[in-house]
Amino acid sequence: MALNTIVTRYELSKIFSPTDLTSWESAAKDAPQSIASRMVLNLTSSLENFLYRPGQDRMFDRGVLESTPDQPTALLQGFLAERAEEVGEFELLEAGGFGAKLDSFAFNVDNKLSWIKELSSVLVNREEKIPYNEVRDRFGWFGSFFNYWRMIRPHPWLDDASTDEVPNRFRVAILGDWATGMYGAPISAKSIHNDPAGFNAVIHLGDIYYAGAEKEVKNSFLPFWPRPQGAYLRALNANHEMLTGGHGYFNFVLPSFKQTASFFAFVNDYWILAGLDTAYAAKWNVFSDGKLTADQVSWLKYLVKLHKDKKLILFSHHYPFSLVGWHGRRKSLKPQKSVLFRQLNDFLREDKIFAWYWGHEHRCLLYEKDMRGGYYGRCVGHGGFPYDRDRSTYVTSSPARSIAGGVSWRLLTGHSLMPDGLLLDGPNPYVPTAPDDFGTQGYMSIELDDMHINEVVHLPDSNVVYSKLLI
The predicted pLDDT at position 97 comes to 92
Instruction: Say if residues 369 and 348 touch (Cβ distance below 8 Å).
Output: no
Q: At residue 60, what is the residue type?
A: F
Give the β-pairing of 408-412 and 311-316.
Answer: unpaired
Q: How far apart are CA 64 and CA 95, in angstroms?
A: 6
Instruction: Give me the residue spans of the domains in the chain.
Output: 5-150, 162-469
Q: At residue 438, what is the residue type?
A: F
- Burial of 104 (C-beta count, 10 Å sphere; 0-12/13-18/19+): exposed
Angle between helices 112-125 and 140-150 (to 10 degrees): 40
Say what the pTM is.
0.95
Question: Which H or E run contains 377?
Answer: strand 376-380
Q: For the domain covering 162-469, report its CATH number.
A: 3.60.21.10
Strand, helix or coil for residue 97:
coil
Instruction: Say if residues 351 and 373 touch (Cβ distance below 8 Å).
Output: yes
Question: Which H or E run contains 232?
Answer: strand 232-235
Residue 234's beta-bridge partner residues? 203
* pLDDT tens-digit profile, the chain (471 residues): 567 899 999 999 999 999 999 999 999 999 999 999 999 999 999 999 999 987 665 445 789 999 998 999 999 999 999 999 999 999 999 998 999 999 999 998 999 999 999 999 888 876 555 544 444 445 789 999 999 999 999 999 999 999 999 999 999 999 999 999 999 999 999 999 999 999 999 999 999 999 999 999 999 999 999 999 999 999 999 999 999 999 999 999 999 999 999 999 999 999 999 999 999 999 765 546 799 999 999 999 999 999 999 999 999 999 988 887 643 344 456 665 678 888 998 998 888 999 999 999 999 999 999 877 789 999 999 999 999 999 989 999 999 999 878 899 999 999 878 899 999 999 999 999 999 999 999 999 999 999 999 999 999 999 999 999 999
The predicted pLDDT at position 357 comes to 98
CB atoms closer than 10 angstroms to residue 126: 12
Long-range contacts, stretch 392-397, CB < 8 angstroms, 24+ apart: 392/324, 394/324, 395/324, 395/423, 395/425
Q: What is the dihedral of CA 277, 279, 280, 284, to 10 degrees?
A: 180
Q: How far apart are CA 451 and CA 67, in angstroms?
A: 41
Q: How far apart are CA 122 and CA 144, in angstroms?
A: 11
Q: How far apart are CA 80 and CA 142, in angstroms?
A: 10
Buried b (16+ CB within 10 A) or exposed e, 237-272: bbbbbbbbbbbbbbebbbebbebebbbbbbbbebbb
Closest CA to 130 of 140, 120, 116: 140
